[in-house]
Structure 1
Amino acid sequence: MLLIGNGNVITRQPENGFIKNGCVVIDGQTIKEVGTTTALKAKYPEEEFIDAKGGMIMPGFVNMHNHIYSTFARGLSINGYHPKDFLDILKGQWFRLDSELNNKTTYASGKVAYLDSIKNGVTTMFDHHASYGQTRGSLGELSKAADELGVRTCLCYEVSDRHGEGAMKEAVAENLEFIEAAKQRHDDMQHAMMGLHAAFTLSDPTLEYVREQTPEDVGFHIHVAEGMADVYDSLAKYNKPIVNRLFDWGILGKQTMAGHCIHIGPHEMALLRDTDTMVVTNPESNMGNAVGCPSVLRMLNDYHLLVGLGTDGFTNDMMESFKFANLIHKHQLADPNAGAAEVPEMIFANNPQMANRLFNTKLGVLEPGAAADVIVVDYQSPTPVTADNYNGHILFGVNGRMVNDTIINGQVRMRNREVVGVDEAKIWADAHEQSQLLWQRING
């Protein structure tokens, strides 16, 4: 067993959500007990003890939407790239980048992204992958990287028509192969969805083909109305809004996640609600791409949608998304109170609830039987941390790099900021080598 104590335990339980000088007991892959440090150290005096030194002990973070393939875009300069709108960003950077990715690049970027997730306290990551330079086997490379770093992950490949029918069908086949591989694992560390890019790169014949090929118990991970070009395309070509079109092709549902949903109307929100479709927003990325701010508070309060937070490849630090989500809705609505309750709900309650539509072990809470995904944050506060204000302390005082220890599935993956059993120097060296080769291919 392993004890983590001498800190402020934020359990995320509806009752007993905060324990001063608390302790968490891990037995195998799940949590055995939660209580005070004094009581649990006395009960288990011989067990290994991680001292939080007065910091915060919390459930690991869940990232509901990421793009590992964007890892090597950091510092990239593309010849002639001067985007004027979101379509320019997609065509000029991301489509060019993913067209040059091969499996070596994918694996190296996966190692970096999962390593960085551990260092930022992210214990579960949902990724949306594209590597049209080499599609087949790419999800297997990400799966291998996740296994080697020990991070929970849900993977899919971005199906699109932008490279023709053959490439589209190859992308569907890659999804189906990993869906089957994930089903064979039985360890609840990796799951799969059917990835779709966005409606404006998916024809009706493609949606029909994808729906026919996808098992009924598998959901879809798709970008929805991230930019206005997506909206205009659906109205011009199909005479219907995006969400209606996806509904008509059987894409929506409890296992499906719609990313962004910036430019959707009330009837589309109602349709997402009626189909119990999940929504994930990515405030930092949306601001960077200048695509707008979704009506998240309306989705949550008026339509009771299950809405969570992701990073969209912008970062692996969920605390950044938390802070940006807190700001963007206040700024957009000119209301200093906007999102005060909803934003913490999205990241701390909804993200785990969404993830548990695929993962079986209870995530995002410290209680007996829940996943032993626990982080320790080195946080010393100038003011008291209490049961009433700990979310405020996290919002204004915590970032991912303050995570000191990360335990995933009962395994200590980072101790005192040192990732356990991993040759970090090799990961970074391989990343530098592969990124340089990628940049040469892009600008060659």
Structure 2
Amino acid sequence: MSVTLILGQMLWADTTQPPRPGWGLAVEGDRVVATGPHADLRARFPTATVVEATDCVITPAFVNAHHHMYGVLAHGIPLEAAPAGFWPFLEEFWWPRVEDRLTHELIAAAADWACLEMVRSGITTFYDCLEAPYAIPGALEVEATVVHRWGLRGVLSFEATERVSAENGDLGLRENADFIAACRARGGLISGLMCFHTTFTCSTDFIRRAFALATERGVKVHMHLSEGTYEPEHCQARFGVRPVVYYDRLGVLGPHVLASQCVQMDAGEIAILAQRGVHVSHQPLSNCEVGGGFAPVPEM
């Protein structure tokens, strides 16, 4: 297999160490097989193809831990007035004007644009959460086709929810399960995981089934968690506890869980997340846009 040398102005592969001026790397297939000074790499791989990138700094690529690729379609939708809060944002804008209108064609177009933005931003690995209740089955395969063409490493999921109907929720869980199996069968850079929305759009039985399906398949589970004040208030009123306590009582929390947002968290919930080893991703720009607040990252 042929080797390609990428010779940068400097290589900064470890942020605990200073950059290394005059260093580059050697790539063979899909692997970095060597790093070192330009002269050493040229001597070691005399027949290699050389990419002169001496005006660039070579660093590991970025990872986007939470994406909604279809969200690019929301850009520029005119509004009579800004949503008054998180719930109006969902009920009056995000659900009826974006997610409920998605088709396979729109999903493909959005994924194409989102992949372009990621490549231009230096992102090569990402997790995406798609909710398109009227575009299943087959929506994840549409996304996967586009992501594969761009050569990105993508973890794709469908955000299953019962907000449309219980039957539609089942379709969402099946969308994830089938996609996980398909990805494993064909291999490559694209994989799936199990995903459901939140406690206020999914019943307890539904949430348990999502975790059971994930356990059977050995994959992680993603959910949005306390993106604004609405979910904690909902859980307190319906279950008598805050969301993290609710999940903990279900016995579903652990290192296999990726919880996004995590804005409206109290000290007890943060302690539970840490104790159970739950992974958290936070989205400050998104949280500001919907008025959810700021995730307590220093405390976490």
- Normalising TM by the smaller chain, what interval? over 0.9
**Deviant stretches of 4+, over 4 Å:** none
SS in 1 for 2:209: helix
TM-score when normalising by structure 1: 0.64
Superposed displacement of residue 46, structure 1: 2.5
Q: Quote the Cα distance in structure 1 between the aligned partners of 2:42 and 2:77.
A: 50
Q: Could you give the per-residue CA deviations for residues 88-122 of structure 1, whole angstroms, max 9, x where no partner exists?
A: 11112211111111111111211111122112111
Runs of 5+ unmatched residues, structure 2: none
Letter in 2 for 1:254: P
Q: Quote the Cα distance in structure 1 between the aligned partners of 2:233 and 2:102.
A: 30
Q: Who is 2:277 aligned against?
A: 276
Q: Who is 1:262 aligned against?
A: 263
SS in 2 for 1:26: strand
Superposed displacement of residue 45, structure 1: 2.8
Confirm or deny that 1:239 pairs with 2:240: yes
Q: Could you give the per-residue CA deviations for residues 278-332 of structure 1, whole angstroms, max 9, x where no partner exists?
A: 0001111112222111110111xxxxxxxxxxxxxxxxxxxxxxxxxxxxxxxxx
Confirm or deny that 1:4 pairs with 2:6: yes
Q: Who is 2:111 aligned against?
A: 110
**Would the aligned equivalents of 2:228 and 2:291 in 1 still touch at CA under 8 Å?**
no
Letter in 2 for 1:223: H
1:269–1:284 Cα change, 3 Å = same
Superposed displacement of residue 225, structure 1: 0.6
Q: Could you give the per-residue CA deviations for residues 30-81 of structure 1, whole angstroms, max 9, x where no partner exists?
A: 1111111122123223211112223211111100000011121111125x55
Q: Quote the Cα distance in structure 1 between the aligned partners of 2:214 and 2:41.
A: 48
Runs of 5+ unmatched residues, structure 1: 300-444
Q: Quote the Cα distance in structure 1 between the aligned partners of 2:211 and 2:81.
A: 36
Q: Who is 1:141 aligned against?
A: 142
Q: Who is 2:288 aligned against?
A: 287
Q: Quote the Cα distance in structure 2 between the aligned partners of 1:22 and 1:165.
A: 57
Q: Quote the Cα distance in structure 2 between the aligned partners of 1:296 and 1:54.
A: 35
Q: Who is 1:58 aligned against?
A: 59
Superposition CA RMSD, Å: 1.6
Superposed displacement of residue 183, structure 1: 1.8
TM-score when normalising by structure 2: 0.94
Q: Who is 2:201 aligned against?
A: 201
Superposed displacement of residue 205, structure 1: 2.3
**Would the aligned equivalents of 1:211 and 1:250 in 2 still touch at CA under 8 Å?**
no
Q: Quote the Cα distance in structure 2 between the aligned partners of 1:26 and 1:205.
A: 48
**Would the aligned equivalents of 2:100 and 2:132 in 1 still touch at CA under 8 Å?**
yes
SS in 1 for 2:211: helix
Q: Quote the Cα distance in structure 2 between the aligned partners of 1:119 and 1:75.
A: 21
Residues 120-269 of structure 1 correspond to what in structure 2 (within 5 A)?
A: 120-187=121-188, 189-216=189-216, 217-269=218-270
SS in 2 for 1:59: coil
Q: Who is 1:397 aligned against?
A: none
**Would the aligned equivalents of 1:254 and 1:277 in 2 still touch at CA under 8 Å?**
yes
SS in 2 for 1:214: helix
Letter in 2 for 1:128: C
Q: Who is 1:72 aligned against?
A: 73
Q: Could you give the per-residue CA deviations for residues 158-217 of structure 1, whole angstroms, max 9, x where no partner exists?
A: 111210101111111101111111222333x11211111122212212213323333342
SS in 1 for 2:59: strand
**Would the aligned equivalents of 1:211 and 1:249 in 2 still touch at CA under 8 Å?**
no
Q: Who is 1:89 aligned against?
A: 89
Residues 304-315 of structure 1 correspond to what in structure 2 (within 5 A)?
A: none
Q: Quote the Cα distance in structure 2 between the aligned partners of 1:32 and 1:13.
A: 20
SS in 2 for 1:262: coil
Q: Quote the Cα distance in structure 2 between the aligned partners of 1:147 and 1:173.
A: 22
Q: Who is 1:26 aligned against?
A: 27
Q: Quote the Cα distance in structure 2 between the aligned partners of 1:109 and 1:44.
A: 41
**Would the aligned equivalents of 1:81 and 1:92 in 2 still touch at CA under 8 Å?**
no
Superposed displacement of residue 17, structure 1: 5.2
Q: Quote the Cα distance in structure 1 between the aligned partners of 2:27 and 2:15.
A: 17
Give the length in aligned residue pairs.
296
1:161–1:48 Cα change, 3 Å = same
**Would the aligned equivalents of 1:11 and 1:17 in 2 still touch at CA under 8 Å?**
no
Confirm or deny that 1:45 pairs with 2:46: yes
Higher relative contact order (CA 8 A, sep 6+): 1
SS in 2 for 1:221: strand
Q: Quote the Cα distance in structure 2 between the aligned partners of 1:128 and 1:156.
A: 5
Q: Could you give the per-residue CA deviations for residues 217-238 of structure 1, whole angstroms, max 9, x where no partner exists?
A: 2211111111000110011001
Identity percentage of aligned residues: 24
